[in-house]
Structure 1
Amino acid sequence: MKKIIALLFVSIAFPCIALATDYLITDYGAIGNGSQLSTKYIQKAIDACSANGGGRVVVPSGDFLTGTIYLKSHVELYVNSGAKISGSRNRADYPKVSGERGLIFALEATDVGITGSGEINGNGGSFYKGDNAPDRPFLVLIKKCSKVLVSGISLKNPAFWTFRLLYNDRVNVEGIYIYAHVNFNNDGLDIDSKNVTVSNCIIDTDDDALCFKSDSSFICQNVTVSNCVLASNCNFIKMGTASVGGFKNISISSCILQRASESRLRFWERSVPGVTEPVTGLAGIALEIVDGGVMDGININNIVMDGVQTPLFVRLGSRSNAAGIVRNVMISNITAKSVSRIASSITAIPGFRIENVVLRDINIQSPGGGSETDYTAIIPEQERAYPENRMFGVILPAYGIYLRHVGGISLYNVQFRPAAGEARPAVYVEDGREIRVSDLKATAPIQHAPLVELNDVSGFSFEGDTADQIIPLLFRIRGARSNHISITGKYDDHIHRLYELKDSASKKALTIR
């Protein structure tokens, strides 16, 4: 009776797996010698499995060379330990379907799976090189499917992105390993789907590791990611760049962000001042709306990151006529070691604002070394520029976080600790509304910079005690539009000057309690 109950449960949870009949690809002619093309034989096994109501198509030990194989409804592709599916090095073996190529391709299927502890290897170094080189196959492409399980498998060496989830519903990805360092645009997991869970994965890539996209009006939503290890030479956790529909209700928690295993294509230490290490990534967390979409309901919690140039990068831009919306974002419990002088930033464009963002319990260590020239630099708006941590240049006027065109931003228990002296403020706010900073712990700048700079900021509250150090100047306030600024807390002799007014800023704008 217990076995019957267990089988019924598995059948309900994963119909394509339960009570499965096995279809061994070698029974259909596939040869695992690594040199004979087995595409048609593997496809025969899949077709037979689907035609008979579903089951498992089993890849046994061996190296099976193939072009595109198409998964069908109620079929689980099971890759045994010691088994490898190797992608053909000939582009002709990857016919286009719906304008796209892929090694493992599922389109409009239900109850499909890719499981096992074997390997799928794209031999992607054999394809076109160069950033955005066209017409390369994805390693795994799941499109317009429902009830998808991908578990335990190793995905390696794609020609393009490794694993793309496009317009799907109900997807579970667990315990997979991705290694992608043989070509440009080697993303790890790209999610443009809804009702998705991702857990216990290791993703090590040259390009973005965990990347949420929205290529159309389809909204990427209801996604949970947990307990993953992410490594990248570009962005570790990214939403965008494609952001037409947008992103809603996404939770990412308990992840480690670390340096990639190698860097064959990026040499950031040659182009980004302050970066001295040969293997680093760009932004730890990059949240981007630049195509008119909506980002709403994002929660990122309990992240440890090392080897990143910029821990946090949030951008509302406009590559078209629409600017979109970014609101209701919570980022908490972050520990980061950055390796460049490109500070974290939250920025929009003139006439628009990023709204309701909470940063809580953040601890960021940085190399320091920013100069007074960096502090006083004019930062371009870059309204239509490609969003990237260095889009405003290789340095910003703050060493901790730079905020521009924002509203309803809260910083609670945020720490910024540079290793070397900094002539930039820890926090710089420009054109901000309703900003709250509580319990800021930041190293006082050297030379003439304040700890916090406000430029045309309305509705700013600051509270906390920074008594563990001498602070020459706590606030510098600029702009005639600066008003309703409140400073609350205990400030004794360690604060040499509480504030300084510049550029038409009025003392009436300030309240000290």
Structure 2
Amino acid sequence: MKNKSYCSLLSFSAVLMLAFLSSCSAQKKNDVLANPWKVKQQIEKSVIVPVFKKQTYNIVDFGAKSGGIDNNSEAFKKAIAACTENGGGKVIVPAGKFLTGPIHLDNNVNLHLEDGAEILFSTKSSDYPLVKTTFEGTECMNHSPLIYAYNKKNIAVTGKGILNGQADNDNWWYWCGAKQYGWKEGRGNQNDPQNRIRLVESGEQNVPVEQRIFGEGSYLRPNFIEFHTCTDALIKDVKIINAPFWVIHPMKSTNVTVDGVTVESHGPNNDGCDPEYSKNVIIKNCTFNTGDDCIAIKSGKDGDGRRVAMKSENIIVKDCMMLDGHGGVVMGSEMTGGIKNVFVENCKMDSPNLDRAIRIKSNSRRGGIVENVFVRNIEVGQVKEAVLRINMFYNVYGNQTGNFIPQVKNVILENVKVKNGGKFGVLAQGYKELPIDNVVLKNVTIDKVGKAYSIENVTNIQFINTTINGEKVESPK
């Protein structure tokens, strides 16, 4: 009898403990919704910004020659090697034009461009060796990004100089296969079945990444700056122009700060900044003028995204200017691993060539979940299509349907002013089986917009103190 009572007591205690843990877990989840901007501040405090020794290593002292004619790859390699071997510091690029192939950073190295410095990157694809990278959300072995770091810590690219990818309709861009970017019959492009399609299939078939060999002849353009599996990284103040593909790409990285950077690049897929599978990323004081999304948060694509199964989370965007682009701050379409806790504040967005302010896009082949998106204090001059666009039927490269219904919940816009809202204030389309849930517009003013909203399969959408075209908008019932 004593043992039975004792066992009952233990069982009751276990139940209480489980209930307590469950309550704590639920409370933790609700904390973000209850006070998102406090959570944002906590994230900011946790992000480690790299610090470097005062020692400097001028690339000229390692044989670099300005003028934009001599290839200075070896000088960059030697300077970076000396820097990291001696405990780190700054690798200095002085005023002048310096041509080079890809630059691979190492631990404790700050690549610093002085005012008047310009790094010109080679347009010869053969100069870019195979490395572990990614193309449109699928991992592979492909051409090295122009600036690359793999599994490094405490790294940076800083200074007032220019990073020039030299991409144009004759170099890199035509690889996309579009005539507007220089492609014509007889030129290779990514759409050959042996190129991009083969890569996507390798992801679906779970081929080991090391066996997904692309590079020369595959026409998959490299990213400009990629920090892959890195911790404590910084990009500050530089101007980046003429990128082959995605511009700034933190990949599987933690504690990344992008501060005061200007991106001007209008080529195909020229997203300004694409955090992917990354955590604790701060993008601030930047200007984006791009050929694709200004900022696009990603987490892998389709089968390969399900293999990696890693969220992008704790992404902060603040005090930025978005000009041309498909979207100001975008989540997707490569979002299979999920996106969580995105904070956007004090940004300005304005251009006749800016399609949307906030955009979320996926489809039933991608799947994935986007949850907890908080936007406040945004000024929008002009957008073409919509202020908020949520599209769960995003279609590119043909049929993109499957059995993985994407989910979106908790999207909160507050204190947003729009002068010219384009076609829709809110344009959202979800699935009947899994509707978009909990969309809130609070203290939002949108003028010169065609229609207040067009929604399908959206639950719990609220308009609180929101006016569109001068009239207060009531929440749909």
Do they superpose with TM above 0.5? yes
Separation in 2, partners of 1:78, 1:417? 48
Equivalent of 2:447, from 353, 365, 381? 365
Higher strand share: 1
Task: Provide the residue aligned with 1:152 in structure 2.
Answer: 237
Percent identical across equivalent pairs?
A: 29
2:341 maps to a residue whose letter is N
Question: Does the 8 Å contact 2:424/2:449 carry over to 1?
Answer: no
Question: Does the 8 Å contact 1:246/1:289 carry over to 2?
Answer: no
Give the 3 Å change call, closer, same or farther, for CA 13–210 of structure 1 in structure 2: closer
Task: Provide the residue aligned with 1:25 in structure 2.
Answer: 59
Question: Does the 8 Å contact 2:165/2:241 carry over to 1?
Answer: yes
Give the 3 Å change call, closer, same or farther, for CA 227–21 of structure 1 in structure 2: same
Equivalent of 1:161, from 246, 265, 274? 246
Deviation of 1:96 after TM superposition, in Å, equals 2.2
Deviations 1:345-383 (A, max 9, x none): 122022221111211111112354xxxxxxxxxxxxxxx
Q: Within the alignment, does 1:187 sit opposite 2:230 as a pair?
A: no
Q: What aligned pairs does 1:238-253 form with structure 2 within 5 A after superposition?
A: 238-253=330-345
SS, match of residue 37 in structure 1 = coil
Deviations 1:110-159 (A, max 9, x none): 00011111111100112232459542222211111001011111111101
Q: Which has the larger radius of gyration?
A: 1
Question: Does the 8 Å contact 1:16/1:75 carry over to 2?
Answer: no
Give the 3 Å change call, closer, same or farther, for CA 36–293 of structure 1 in structure 2: same
Equivalent of 1:54, from 88, 91, 94? 88
SS, match of residue 292 in structure 2 = coil
Equivalent of 2:123, from 82, 89, 92? 89
Question: Does the 8 Å contact 1:164/1:191 carry over to 2?
Answer: yes
Deviation of 1:402 after TM superposition, in Å, equals 1.2
Deviations 1:407-430 (A, max 9, x none): 122111221218xxxxxxxxxxxx
Question: Does the 8 Å contact 2:146/2:165 carry over to 1?
Answer: yes
Q: Within the alignment, does 1:304 sit opposite 2:367 as a pair?
A: no
TM-score of the aligned structures, taking structure 2 as reference length: 0.72
Give the 3 Å change call, closer, same or farther, for CA 295–96 of structure 1 in structure 2: same
Task: Provide the residue aligned with 1:115 in structure 2.
Answer: 158
Separation in 2, partners of 1:209, 1:300? 16
SS, match of residue 45 in structure 1 = helix
Q: Within the alignment, does 1:72 sit opposite 2:154 as a pair?
A: no
Deviations 1:474-502 (A, max 9, x none): xxxxxxxxxxxxxxxxxxxxxxxxxxxxx
Task: Provide the residue aligned with 2:222 in structure 1.
Answer: 137
Deviations 1:450-508 (A, max 9, x none): x99x7xxxxx2xxxxxxxxxxxxxxxxxxxxxxxxxxxxxxxxxxxxxxxxxxxxxxxx
Task: Provide the residue aligned with 1:197 in structure 2.
Answer: 282
Question: Does the 8 Å contact 2:425/2:446 carry over to 1?
Answer: no
Aligned length: 363
Deviations 1:65-122 (A, max 9, x none): 0111100111110111110111111111112211243111111100001111111110
Separation in 2, partners of 1:16, 1:367? 47
1:406 maps to a residue whose letter is V
SS, match of residue 43 in structure 1 = helix
Separation in 2, partners of 1:307, 1:72? 42
Q: What aligned pairs does 1:138-287 form with structure 2 within 5 A after superposition?
A: 138-181=223-266, 183-192=267-276, 193-215=278-300, 216=305, 217-259=309-351, 279-287=352-360
Deviation of 1:288 after TM superposition, in Å, equals 2.5
Q: Within the alignment, does 1:124 sit opposite 2:167 as a pair?
A: yes
Give the 3 Å change call, closer, same or farther, for CA 14–235 of structure 1 in structure 2: closer
Deviation of 1:338 after TM superposition, in Å, equals 3.6
Separation in 2, partners of 1:340, 1:152? 32
Give the 3 Å change call, closer, same or farther, for CA 346–339 of structure 1 in structure 2: closer
Bigger relative contact order, structure 1 or 2 (CA pairs below 8 A, ≥6 apart): 2
SS, match of residue 41 in structure 1 = helix
Q: Within the alignment, does 1:356 sit opposite 2:438 as a pair?
A: yes
Instruction: Pick which of 222-231 and 316-325 moved more.
Output: 316-325
Separation in 2, partners of 1:148, 1:51? 19
Q: Within the alignment, does 1:316 sit opposite 2:385 as a pair?
A: no
Task: Provide the residue aligned with 1:104 in structure 2.
Answer: 147
SS, match of residue 334 in structure 2 = strand
Question: Does the 8 Å contact 1:311/1:338 carry over to 2?
Answer: no
SS, match of residue 35 in structure 1 = coil
Deviation of 1:187 after TM superposition, in Å, equals 1.1
Higher helix share: 2
Equivalent of 2:466, from 414, 421, 430? 414
Deviations 1:302-359 (A, max 9, x none): 1111221111101334743111321112111111234643552122022221111211
CA RMSD for the aligned pairs?
2.1
Separation in 2, partners of 1:212, 1:253? 16
Separation in 2, partners of 1:257, 1:15? 30
Task: Provide the residue aligned with 1:395 in structure 2.
Answer: none
Task: Provide the residue aligned with 1:431 in structure 2.
Answer: none
Separation in 2, partners of 1:235, 1:205? 10
Q: Within the alignment, does 1:38 sit opposite 2:60 as a pair?
A: no
